Amino acid sequence: MERTEVLDLMGELRLFGMKNAYDEILATALKRRHEPQRFAGDLLKAEISEKQARSIKYQLTIAKLPLAKDIDGFVFQDTPINESLVRDLAGGGFIAQQRNVVLIGGTGTGKTHLAMAIARSCIRGGSRGRFFKRQLSLPVSTMSQWWVRRSSRAVVIFGSPNTLGHSPKARLVVTITEVRS
């Protein structure tokens, strides 16, 4: 079978990862005299990597995060923010434990930056999420509403969709609420 036929069949089967990596993997396999099973395995790994990358890109798109922020872009120096805690949150462990996270602070303290960075990190780790911006009251626990009333500040809440009253398909919901006094 000719190269073009193989590539056409891969395209027809929507094996875009295999198609893109075919020439490189074939050249390496011929050069190093890999067994056919190794060649096929390398093609399959390329396909899996491509599908994972496309899935993450799609999940980031449907999350509708307004800003592309990363934790590495946040300056922790001279702030009271616990960097190790933020990095731990970015690992997404709170999602697996079905725990909520509330970020509270005044204007310009970095809540939105950190919220977007944590959400992006969790989505890259395989979670699905969605961003919402609201004003006034939140449909969350009484404790969170108490903090909103007491602080008269903006609040960022991460939580499971069931506790925040959103779609059960999402595993992570980011809600930013501006509270005005």
pLDDT one-digit tens code per residue, 131-175: 776 544 444 444 444 444 443 344 455 554 444 444 445 455 565
Write down the pTM of the prediction: 0.66
- pLDDT given for residue 173 in this prediction: 56
Longest distance between any two alpha carbons in the chain, whole Å? 72
Q: How confident is the model at residue 48 (pLDDT cuts 50, 70, 90)?
A: very high
Q: Could you tell me the two tokens for 111?
A: 């809540």
In this structure, is the dihedral angle defined by the CA atoms of residues 84, 89, 91 and 94, taken in order, positive or negative?
A: positive
- What is the rounded distance in angstroms from the CA atom of residue 131 to the CA atom of residue 46? 31
- What is the rounded distance in angstroms from the CA atom of residue 130 to the CA atom of residue 28? 41
- What is the rounded distance in angstroms from the CA atom of residue 166 to the CA atom of residue 172? 10
Over residues 109-118, the mean pLDDT reads: 86
Asked whether the predicted pLDDT for residue 105 surpasses 80, the reply is no
- What is the rounded distance in angstroms from the CA atom of residue 23 to the CA atom of residue 119? 36
- pLDDT given for residue 134 in this prediction: 58
pLDDT greater at residue 145 or residue 124: 124
pLDDT greater at residue 115 or residue 43: 43
- pLDDT given for residue 172 in this prediction: 56
Lowest pLDDT segment from 8-22, 46-60, 78-92, 167-181: 167-181
Question: Percent of the chain at pLDDT above 90?
Answer: 31
- pLDDT given for residue 6 in this prediction: 95
Question: Percent of the chain at pLDDT above 70?
Answer: 72
